[in-house]
A and B are shown apart, each in its own frame.
Chain A
Amino acid sequence: MQGTETRAAEVGGQGTAGDFFALLKPRVMSLVIFTALVGLIAAPGGIHPWMGFVALLAIAVGAGAAGALNMWYDADIDALMKRTAKRPVPSGAVLPGEALGFGLTLAIGSVLVLGLLVNLAAGALLAFTIFFYIVIYTMWLKRLTPQNIVIGGAAGAFPPMVGWVSVTGSIDLGSIALFLIIFMWTPPHFWALALWKKINADYSNAGVPMLPVVAGSDETRRQILIYTLILAPVTLLPSLTGTTGWLYTLATVALDLVFIHHAVRVFRVRDGAEGEQACKKLFFFSTLWLFLIFALVLVERALGIPSFPAVLG
């Protein structure tokens, strides 16, 4: 058997279809599909349902490609962290070259499909999103700055904008508002997880300068509160740009107040089980919060609630 094992290891082909699917980061992909759908529905005008499906498919595959390329590049640090050691590349199921080829093929394919079948601006923005996530975030800033989560948040904030541009062909203020919501939401969400799960040691071992590792938990709690206080007014931007109406506005104000309450708890209660509990609650609430904020846009469209007249843009 020695010979066959060696051959398979040399030429690849040991990974199952499931291993390659795991390279796409399916959980991240599902969030991308949801937020891109909201961008697609929220955009003024309309799109043929089939073209909307094609746009969502291309955006989802593009996000998966970015995930695969991220796992290819980060295999060295993934192998050092408990949370990521079992990923297909560090575990040896998929060879680095296979992950690179898979990611590049899907990246080029998704950009071409979106650009040629939907519109060129959307294709170009998807290409930029993948470039930003892989080159700017993964290769450059993730291992360089403790604000890496903020940069990564920007990459994660592009999908609703790509969905929007798939309909309109241009980047409008309404799409920037959706971008800013995810951009400002990511740091408090992820830092709450980092404080709760105590994954700092993992990142420290891997040499990734996460904010809690570099600046300590007190500074991280302060930054969580600052980002949350900026996030609250940002969530009202869709109402000022004529994207949403009264239901979104009222519900968002209520959700923002709960978010701020949890962030203040994290800032104030720092020690022991209670401090840990505060971080855990903020993390789970922030996940639900983002889902509800974006779902509200869909609900308003489904109920035919008119948007406010645009004050901005």
Chain B
Amino acid sequence: MFDLSLSLIEGNLFLKYNHHHCCLDYHRFTITMPNTEPEEATRENRESNDGSFECNICLDTAKDAVVSMCGHLFCWPCLYQWLETKPQRQVCPVCKALISRDKVTPIYGRGSSRRDPRDTLPPRPPGQRTEPEPHPSTSFPGFGFGDGGFHMSFGIGAFPFGYFSSTIFNFSDNRPAPSPSNPDYLEDALLSKMFFFVAMILLFYLLVA
């Protein structure tokens, strides 16, 4: 009959309710609390001692602290118990944002306690950390285009093929191309044809077999 949800966000009280006649009403009140702290120092002192690191459920300093994606701090045992209480509707107790076991981050202080994790509870979810991306130029050293030529070769792993990995795609090779008049050229061409022929036969054999 009367559905009222209330959220207090930074001094603004949001009051939502439904009832019979008007289906949905939103009222927004701004609550201005009287400033009771006379001195800035008192307030700072208070904030650093209480409040800031209190679990939103037990109101004590958060132990085995976890923080939700929406930024709300809880003891892991407290939050776990709440998530178990309403497994079908897991929302942040403070702001009702969706929340789940995998979406909370544990907070590790330097002097965190070494007391035993509670037997009845699963351990806190682990922190998530991603390795930084390695620098591209160092990961594939042979792939740079800056070293004067574009090399591409192919071959089949066994010795003879690896040896005569094709020179057809070997652009801008620094070796001088043999001239047709050179006797080496004929020899080269013959050798090349022969190896090519052998390679084809083997390749064919491999395909058939």
A and B from one assembly? no
Q: Report A's interface with B, CB cutoff 8 A.
A: none
